[in-house]
Amino acid sequence: MIYYDIEKKEDGIWLAQREYQPRFHLKTESVFAQCNGYFGVRGAGGLPSLNGKRGMFVAGLFNCAYEDEVTELVNCPDVTEFRLILDGEEICPDRIMIKGYERKFNIYTGELVISVRFELKSGTEIEVIERRFASMENRHLFVQSIRISVCRGAGTSGKLISGIDGQQTNSGVSHFQKINCRVYDRKIMQMKGYLTEDTLSILAESSCESGTPVFTLKRRSVEASYDVTVPEGGSWEFEKYVYIHKQEDMAELDRQKEILKDCISKGYASVISAHKEKMSKLWQQAAIRIKGATLEEEASIAFAQYHLIGMMPWGSSSSSIAAKGLTGEGYKGHVFWDTEIFVLPFFLYNFPEAARQLLEFRYKGLDGAREKAAAYGYEGAMYPWEAAVSGKEETPLYAALNIYTGKANKVWSGIKEHHVTADIVYAVWQYYSMTGDDRFMEKFGYEIIFEAASFWVSRAEWDEVRKAYVIRDIIGPDEYTEHIDNNAYSNYMARYCVSLAASLAGKAEKVTPGLYHRLKVGKRRKSWEEFSEKIYLPEPNEQQIIPQDDTFLTKKCLTDIEKYKESEVKQAVLQDYSRDEIVDMQVLKQADTVMLLNLFPQMFSPEVVRKNVLYYESRTIHDSSLSYCAHAQACAAIGAMDLAWKFFEKCMVIDLDGNPNDTTDGIHAASLGGIWTCIVFGFAGVNYEGEVLHLTPRLPEHWEEIHFHIKVRGKDIELTLSNTKVCLKDTGAGRTPPAKESPLKVEVGGEVYELKDSLQVFIIERKEGKSA
Ligand code: BGC
């Protein structure tokens, strides 16, 4: 259940919290964050409060503070907090008697509105309404407006103090070596923060009826104090415009000042309407409409998409998408396989140019990945398990308590979890298959694939007994099973990657001979071909179960697994068992072999897929947020609709439920991407393979119809699917068709059709008939 009240209004769906609940602050701040892909601001109320953690994160603004620390996404100076003193009384929601409270968030625009009603000691009743948004129209712009009204009693006066506070830290770690503040023209505040390799600049200008404020420079902060006078029955208004940028996008100061001046003259309503227009263009492409879905379902699906849109560094490939987007310090702002496997599909099918940028980011990390491979004695490029700005490994070495030693556990993922190097290749090839972007392949794609392939070849060892290449001592997606041999997911993905390289070598020789020679592809091809033929691939056993690794099926099961599956506390199993004990059990943290089946839905027979999904699910605790969406999609694919729905429901509220202890350090980006993949790949059954768009709709019982757009090979396709009918329309949007463009092939129920302008196929008990 969604924890917040849901309201559908003309301007979108609002999620509202109508009680002041400090213990929910950390969570709600992540959930209600304003993000436009350039920066994200946590939804902490502007009035000071005790429990929250303010945060502003600028995409790609990383820093490593000390030698033994890893590089992390910097929690930037705060621009949201304001102090309010009325009739000599300092207003702090934790200390006053609140008479009314509402914090609401528009899922379509990201606008946050916080209203607090309270009574002053003087008896006057006041309402403070704060609004804010991160502009999608000018992505350097953050806007806040405050209105103070006297609802009952005499007028009031006092001060409002607002500024730029550079005292923020990442859990106590201060990243800025130096912070310089100043004021321009007695109206504009500026803060420049110097990191080891980057500089952040924040410029803020405010407008209100009170004339020139009094500015004060303090240590690492600058603030302005405004006189506030609110007459009986009247109100006082304040607007603040903030221009945020990193060194690489540094605009001339005069230009920045002009932008702020222009905003001030236009005012909040006009500036937000330009933002809404931009957002609505994105929604035109991305919206999923579901006939039969409840308001709660509609809200959680749109919520996921708002955050997906807000986490994309639109127009730049210098950074990628972090596991928590731009909403919190969790996972230190690092980029995982989550991006390529869970999040990228949303962009690939809606905004392919954004998917391309995410992959270009990985291209830029190739040198770091090459260094990592070399450091471990491998060839080619071995991508980091956790990345920041480069291809350098950023995974912390220690985390989480070992219940027996009392010390932190060693994190092996950065050393042994290697599948990310194949996951990126998978995403590269998905991108190429969907777009046919040859330029991308020539500039970036081939090189990523070839370097990854050479890594995998060098990573494997020859096993004389099996007469095959094997991959020993590895961690697959299931991080509860460390140091195992021949993880099925990793071996199959490695084969996929290397055989792709082998099959592309010939084409690369023709289209990009320079690269072909520079990378010495000619010399490496043979090893790729041999590896592809001789890599050991765990086959289904007599019970048709694909062994997750060499020893997994011989291990004992965890008898009381249900207890952990149902636990509100994530990873509760680690409070009862050490990691070493868990490694010796058939217990999974998250989808592993099931992920393989999701990525390659046609690799095994339907019976094998069904048996494996059910077998592994029963042993999975779902202790990673990546697990519910993966299982929802997998269960939909095998037609286990009750289970699919059970997992989808959990996934829909992963950030929206009533557990105040989760989502506190940021939203779950992969799971939000997984909501989209589950609907499109799982329920709508979309699978583009072999230049054919396969459609196998399996809608949840109460959904009558799903409607959405996808981009396939430059075409904008509008799809409307139900369990009995599939309708497609080539909208022709965004392109001038080349003279000899071939129609899209569409497969429904085994029959292949051609989509010219539109197509309608009826599905009658799995027998299809074409009608138009
Ligand atoms: C999961 C990984 C995931 C990471 C970041 C971990 O708990 O096991 O698969 O990449 O979180 O979301």
CA-closest residue to ligand 1 atom 4: 336
Q: Is residue 312 part of a domain?
A: yes
- Is 591 a pocket residue for ligand 1 (Cβ < 6 Å)? no
Whether the Cβ atoms of residue 118 and residue 99 lie closer than 8 Å to each other? yes
Q: Is residue 691 part of a domain?
A: no
In this prediction, residue 767 has a pLDDT band, given cuts at 50, 70 and 90, of: very low
For 92, other C-beta atoms within 10 Å of its C-beta total: 14
DSSP state for residue 535 in the 8-state scheme: B
Domain containing 745: what range?
A: 705-771
Write out the two tokens for 480: 């509860």
Domain boundary among 244, 263, 286: 286
Domain boundary among 286, 314, 332: 286
- Is 411 a pocket residue for ligand 1 (Cβ < 6 Å)? no
In this structure, the answer to whether residues 253 and 396 fall within a common structural domain is no
- Is 314 a pocket residue for ligand 1 (Cβ < 6 Å)? no
Q: What is the largest CA-CA distance in the chain?
A: 90
The string of DSSP letters for 158-221 reads EEEEEEEETT--BTTB---SEEEEEEETTTEEEEEEE-SS-EEEEEEEEEETT-SPEEEEETTE
Mean pLDDT of 704-721: 97
Write out the two tokens for 714: 């430059």
In this prediction, residue 766 has a pLDDT band, given cuts at 50, 70 and 90, of: low
In this prediction, residue 740 has a pLDDT band, given cuts at 50, 70 and 90, of: low
- Is 491 a pocket residue for ligand 1 (Cβ < 6 Å)? no
Sole residue written with tokens 């019970």: 543
- Is 482 a pocket residue for ligand 1 (Cβ < 6 Å)? no
DSSP state for residue 556 in the 8-state scheme: B
- Is 624 a pocket residue for ligand 1 (Cβ < 6 Å)? yes
Strands 12-17 and 461-463: unpaired
Whether the Cβ atoms of residue 447 and residue 424 lie closer than 8 Å to each other? no
pLDDT value for 732:
86
Cα(206)–Cα(744) distance, integer angstroms: 53
Mean pLDDT of 587-600: 98
CA 589 to ligand 1 centroid distance, Å: 10
Whether the Cβ atoms of residue 162 and residue 187 lie closer than 8 Å to each other? no
SS3 107: coil
CA-closest residue to ligand 1 atom 11: 624
Whether the Cβ atoms of residue 80 and residue 49 lie closer than 8 Å to each other? no
In this structure, the answer to whether residues 305 and 336 fall within a common structural domain is yes
SS3 598: helix
- Is 489 a pocket residue for ligand 1 (Cβ < 6 Å)? no
Looking from the CA of residue 338, the nearest atom of ligand 1 is 10
Q: Ligand 1, residues 579, 626, 629, 651: which to mutate, most atoms within 8 A of Cβ?
A: 626
Whether the Cβ atoms of residue 757 and residue 748 lie closer than 8 Å to each other? no
- List, in sequence order, every residue forming a beta bridge with 5; answer none if it has no partner: 16
Q: Is residue 697 part of a domain?
A: no
Domain boundary among 653, 683, 713: 683
Residue whose C-alpha is closest to residue 656's, from 12, 19, 15: 15
Q: Ligand 1, residues 337, 479, 573, 651: which to mutate, most atoms within 8 A of Cβ?
A: 479
pLDDT of 768 strictly over 70? no
- Is 426 a pocket residue for ligand 1 (Cβ < 6 Å)? no
Q: What values do phi and psi take at 685, rounded to 5? A: 65, 35
CA-closest residue to ligand 1 atom 12: 323
In this structure, the answer to whether residues 226 and 350 fall within a common structural domain is no
CA-closest residue to ligand 1 atom 7: 624
Sole residue written with tokens 């999609």: 633
Q: Is residue 492 part of a domain?
A: yes
CA 478 to ligand 1 centroid distance, Å: 9
Q: Which of 190-194, 593-597, 679-683, 761-765 has the lowest mean pLDDT?
A: 761-765
CA 338 to ligand 1 centroid distance, Å: 7
In this structure, the answer to whether residues 383 and 295 fall within a common structural domain is yes
291 marked as part of a ligand binding site:
no
Looking from the CA of residue 624, the nearest atom of ligand 1 is 7
Give the torsion sign (CA, 415, 417, 418, 421): negative
In this structure, the answer to whether residues 278 and 294 fall within a common structural domain is no
CA-closest residue to ligand 1 atom 5: 323
Tens digit of each residue's pLDDT (9 = 90 or more) over 39-76 = 999 999 999 998 999 999 999 999 999 988 889 999 99
CA 336 to ligand 1 centroid distance, Å: 7
- Is 626 a pocket residue for ligand 1 (Cβ < 6 Å)? yes
Catalogue the active-site residues: 479
Beta strands in 713-748 (DSSP E): 715-721, 725-730, 744-748
Instruction: Calculate the CA dihedral of residues 150, 151, 152, 155 and round it to 10 degrees.
Output: 10
In this structure, the answer to whether residues 325 and 343 fall within a common structural domain is yes
Looking from the CA of residue 478, the nearest atom of ligand 1 is 8
Tens digit of each residue's pLDDT (9 = 90 or more) over 480-497 = 999 999 999 999 999 999
Residue whose C-alpha is closest to residue 402's, from 668, 194, 580: 580
Whether the Cβ atoms of residue 354 and residue 435 lie closer than 8 Å to each other? no
CA-closest residue to ligand 1 atom 9: 477
CATH number, domain at 326? Answer: 1.50.10.10
Mean pLDDT of 91-116: 96
Q: Ligand 1, residues 335, 493, 573, 624: which to mutate, most atoms within 8 A of Cβ?
A: 624
Please indicate whether residue 765 or residue 464 has the higher confidence score (pLDDT). 464
In this structure, the answer to whether residues 380 and 272 fall within a common structural domain is no
- Terminus-to-terminus CA distance in the chain, angstroms? 41
Whether the Cβ atoms of residue 666 and residue 30 lie closer than 8 Å to each other? yes
CA 420 to ligand 1 centroid distance, Å: 11
Q: Is residue 194 part of a domain?
A: yes
Sole residue written with tokens 């997906």: 308
CA 63 to ligand 1 centroid distance, Å: 22
pLDDT of 678 strictly over 70? yes
User: Would you give the distance in Å from CA 123 to the centre of its chain?
Assistant: 47
Q: Is residue 695 part of a domain?
A: no
- Is 479 a pocket residue for ligand 1 (Cβ < 6 Å)? yes
Cα(766)–Cα(764) distance, integer angstroms: 5
CA 479 to ligand 1 centroid distance, Å: 8
Q: Which of 25-29, 290-294, 395-399, 705-709 has the lowest mean pLDDT?
A: 395-399
Residue whose C-alpha is closest to residue 746's, from 684, 689, 707: 689
pLDDT of 430 strictly over 50? yes
pLDDT value for 771:
41
Looking from the CA of residue 477, the nearest atom of ligand 1 is 9
Percentage of residues of the chain with pLDDT beyond 70: 98
In this structure, the answer to whether residues 301 and 246 fall within a common structural domain is no
Cα(120)–Cα(90) distance, integer angstroms: 10
Residue whose C-alpha is closest to residue 477's, from 425, 532, 528, 422: 422
In this structure, the answer to whether residues 506 and 546 fall within a common structural domain is yes
Cα(750)–Cα(208) distance, integer angstroms: 66
pLDDT value for 600:
97
Cα(537)–Cα(699) distance, integer angstroms: 33
CATH number, domain at 62? Answer: 2.70.98.40
Q: Which helix (H) or strand (E) holds 420?
A: helix 420-435
Whether the Cβ atoms of residue 232 and residue 200 lie closer than 8 Å to each other? no
Residue whose C-alpha is closest to residue 170's, from 56, 82, 67: 56
589 marked as part of a ligand binding site:
yes
Tens digit of each residue's pLDDT (9 = 90 or more) over 431-447 = 999 999 999 999 999 99
Looking from the CA of residue 623, the nearest atom of ligand 1 is 7
- Is 133 a pocket residue for ligand 1 (Cβ < 6 Å)? no
Sorted by sequence, the CB contacts under 8 Å of residue 252 that are 6+ apart come out as none
- Is 337 a pocket residue for ligand 1 (Cβ < 6 Å)? yes
Q: Is residue 493 part of a domain?
A: yes
- Is 323 a pocket residue for ligand 1 (Cβ < 6 Å)? yes
Q: How many CA atoms lie within 13 A of 410 on its CB side?
A: 7
Could you tell me if residue 374 is left (phi over 0), alpha (psi between -120 and 50 degrees) or otherwise beta?
alpha
Q: How many domains does the chain have?
A: 3
Looking from the CA of residue 479, the nearest atom of ligand 1 is 8
In this prediction, residue 248 has a pLDDT band, given cuts at 50, 70 and 90, of: confident
CA 588 to ligand 1 centroid distance, Å: 13
Q: Is residue 692 part of a domain?
A: no
Residue whose C-alpha is closest to residue 134's, from 112, 102, 107, 113: 112
549 marked as part of a ligand binding site:
no
In this structure, the answer to whether residues 299 and 251 fall within a common structural domain is no
DSSP state for residue 742 in the 8-state scheme: P
Q: Which helix (H) or strand (E) holds 226?
A: strand 221-230
Q: What is the CA radius of gyration of the chain?
A: 27
Cα(688)–Cα(695) distance, integer angstroms: 9
- Is 476 a pocket residue for ligand 1 (Cβ < 6 Å)? no
Whether the Cβ atoms of residue 378 and residue 458 lie closer than 8 Å to each other? yes
Please classify residue 520 by burial: count the beta carbons closer than 10 Å to its beta carbon, then call 0-12 exposed, 13-18 middle and 19+ buried. exposed
Strand order in the sheet with 751-755: 686-689, 692-695, 744-748, 751-755
CA 498 to ligand 1 centroid distance, Å: 25
Q: Which of 155-169, 389-403, 683-697, 748-762 has the lowest mean pLDDT?
A: 389-403
In this structure, the answer to whether residues 276 and 385 fall within a common structural domain is no
CA-closest residue to ligand 1 atom 1: 624
Whether the Cβ atoms of residue 134 and residue 40 lie closer than 8 Å to each other? yes
In this prediction, residue 769 has a pLDDT band, given cuts at 50, 70 and 90, of: very low
Strands 125-134 and 89-90: unpaired
pLDDT value for 405:
87
Write out the two tokens for 4: 């917040």
In this structure, the answer to whether residues 639 and 742 fall within a common structural domain is no
CA 626 to ligand 1 centroid distance, Å: 7
Looking from the CA of residue 337, the nearest atom of ligand 1 is 10
**Number of helices (H), then strands (E), in the chain:** 23, 34
Write out the two tokens for 167: 């005292």
- Is 670 a pocket residue for ligand 1 (Cβ < 6 Å)? yes
CA 624 to ligand 1 centroid distance, Å: 6
SS3 42: coil
| Range 665-675 burial, b when 16+ CB lie within 10 A, else e | bbbbbbbbbbb
Mean pLDDT for the chain overall: 95
pLDDT of 658 strictly over 60? yes
Global pTM exceeds 0.85: yes
